[in-house]
Amino acid sequence: MLTNEFQGVSLSRLGFGAMRLPLLPGETDGSAIDEKRVDEMVDYAMAHGVNYFDTAYPYHAGKSEVVLGRSLSRYPRERWYLADKYPGHQISSSYDPAAIFEEQLKKCGVDYFDFYLLHNVYENSIQVYMDQKWGILDYFLEQKRLGRIRFLGFSAHGGIPTLETFLNYCGSQMDFCQLQLNYLDWTLQHGREKYELLTRHGIPVWVMEPVRGGRLARLSDSELAPLRQLRPGDTGAAWAFRFLQGLPNVKMILSGMSSLEQMAENTATLSVDQPLTQEELAALLELAETMKDSIPCTACRYCCDGCPMGLDIPSMIAAYNEVRFQPGSNVGMRFDALPLDKRPAACIACGKCSQACPQGIDVPSALKGLAEAIEKTPSWADICKQREQEAKQNRS
């Protein structure tokens, strides 16, 4: 297994993310985890040099921490590194930092966390993390001082302005940042700009969603065809991991693996240092563009000048391109924090934007499509509320 040195610690380049653990046959609610299969995956990981394991408070309705902690406890504590997260994006009166942290330690069966993250900093949660009345940052910095957290970081799904705001607020106190990054989101979610921003701030990058929920591991034959001409034996997942090998500030690649087969393939790929050649990178990024089927917005912002509603049209078109590729809650949650008159549905379809667009884009139709997609997707607040209820039921 390839490794990276991080502040005196040797980390396996592949980390085992515990958000998509295998479930018992016939179970669909996410909490009925197949612990025998988890043990098999952990055993394989340990035998092949994987030493980083990542969980979070809401994963599997609160059961992920328990199951992963129990499985890891079969090995000496010094052989593995455990990461957990504080759910500030789900904040409520019951989410006292001290109470949650103590509960997490108990659930995982440990006295300290090697890595701890402020979970999901985005447009609607950043103020919670920065609000002194919650005392979140101060509390976890104190836990780090006490040795109950070795390294403190954060995960982020927000846009670049939100990321910049958070870095300006506490970037000097963050040891690492966990970011959704893959060759598709390199452009679709402005991953390149986010990666470069973190690099300029001297913050190492932890990658989540390297195969975008499995989509990049399930390339069709037509999508794989140009890649097979260059490397006939590589799978879709291998291409995704090799793309990340070419980014020197990526120190950890987390994969939410659900089977022993996925674990075996990924450990094999990340046991050989073989980043993409320039020819391979060009082919992969060209494939990404064809996969997106995106609206060709260049973010020139001519459309914004005459918009009577003052909408940030380029960011909305970028979000629409993303949801057209793969629907999910990440897009909708970016707009949760905006007032109603600044959301896509506020478009009055006056057409001034389309008249000003050098690309001739039918902007009102795009914003209407985005608004409809958001309407069909559960809001992040609703998802968090449901997860909180499930976690409470499982604790009772």
pLDDT tens readout for residues 82-109: 999 999 877 654 578 999 999 999 999 9
Distance, in Å, from the CA atom of 389 to the CA atom of 158, rounded to the nearest integer, reads: 25
Q: pLDDT tens across 244-258, in order?
A: 999 999 999 999 999
Average pLDDT value for residue range 125-147: 94
Q: Are 318 and 297 within 8 A, CB to CB?
A: yes
> Which of 207, 209, 131 lies closest to 169 in space, CA to CA?
131
Distance, in Å, from the CA atom of 159 to the CA atom of 188, rounded to the nearest integer, reads: 12
Query: Cα angle vertex 373, ends 372, 377, to 5°?
Result: 115
β 205-208/176-180 pair status: parallel
What percent of the chain stands above pLDDT 70?
91
Distance, in Å, from the CA atom of 87 to the CA atom of 384, rounded to the nearest integer, reads: 9
Beta bridge partners of 52: 15, 81
Q: pLDDT tens across 330-363, in order?
A: 677 778 878 999 999 999 999 989 987 867 889 9
Tokens 């992040």 locate to: 380
Q: Is 99 exposed, middle or buried (0-12, 13-18, 19+ CB in 10 A)?
A: exposed
Average pLDDT value for residue range 227-233: 94
DSSP 6-56: ETTEEEESEEEETTS--B-TT--SS--B-HHHHHHHHHHHHHTT--EEE--
Count other Cβ atoms within 10 Å, centred on residue 360.
Answer: 9
3-state secondary structure of 164: helix
Average pLDDT value for residue range 175-193: 94
Alpha helices in 260-307 (DSSP H): 260-269, 278-292, 302-305
| Amino acid code (one letter) for 28 | T
Higher pLDDT among residues 236 and 394, named by residue:
236
Residue 309, CA distances (Å) to 313, 346, 366, 394 in order: 10, 7, 16, 45
Higher pLDDT among residues 357 and 170, named by residue:
170
Count other Cβ atoms within 10 Å, centred on residue 310.
Answer: 10
> Which of 50, 22, 18 lies closest to 36 in space, CA to CA?
22
Handedness of CA 68, 63, 37, 330 (dihedral sign): negative
Tokens 């799978």 locate to: 235
Mean pLDDT of the chain: 90
Q: Please determine, for residue 327, whether its predicted confidence score (pLDDT) is greater than 90.
A: no
Distance, in Å, from the CA atom of 338 to the CA atom of 342, rounded to the nearest integer, reads: 6
Tokens 């052989």 locate to: 79
What percent of the chain stands above pLDDT 90?
69
Distance, in Å, from the CA atom of 46 to the CA atom of 34, rounded to the nearest integer, reads: 19
3-state secondary structure of 340: helix
Q: Are 210 and 254 within 8 A, CB to CB?
A: yes
- According to the model, what pLDDT value does residue 395 have? 47
Of 13-27, 139-153, 382-396, the one with minimum mean pLDDT is: 382-396
Count other Cβ atoms within 10 Å, centred on residue 388.
Answer: 19
Distance, in Å, from the CA atom of 295 to the CA atom of 103, rounded to the nearest integer, reads: 46
Q: Please determine, for residue 4, whether its predicted confidence score (pLDDT) is greater than 90.
A: yes
β 205-208/250-255 pair status: parallel
The reported pTM is 0.80
Of 25-29, 168-172, 286-290, the one with minimum mean pLDDT is: 25-29
Query: CB within 8 A of 112, min separation 6: which ones?
Result: 105, 147, 148, 149, 150
Average pLDDT value for residue range 259-284: 97
Q: Please determine, for residue 277, whether its predicted confidence score (pLDDT) is greater than 80.
A: yes
- According to the model, what pLDDT value does residue 383 have? 53
Average pLDDT value for residue range 26-52: 91
Q: Please determine, for residue 396, whether its predicted confidence score (pLDDT) is greater than 50.
A: no
- According to the model, what pLDDT value does residue 65 have? 97
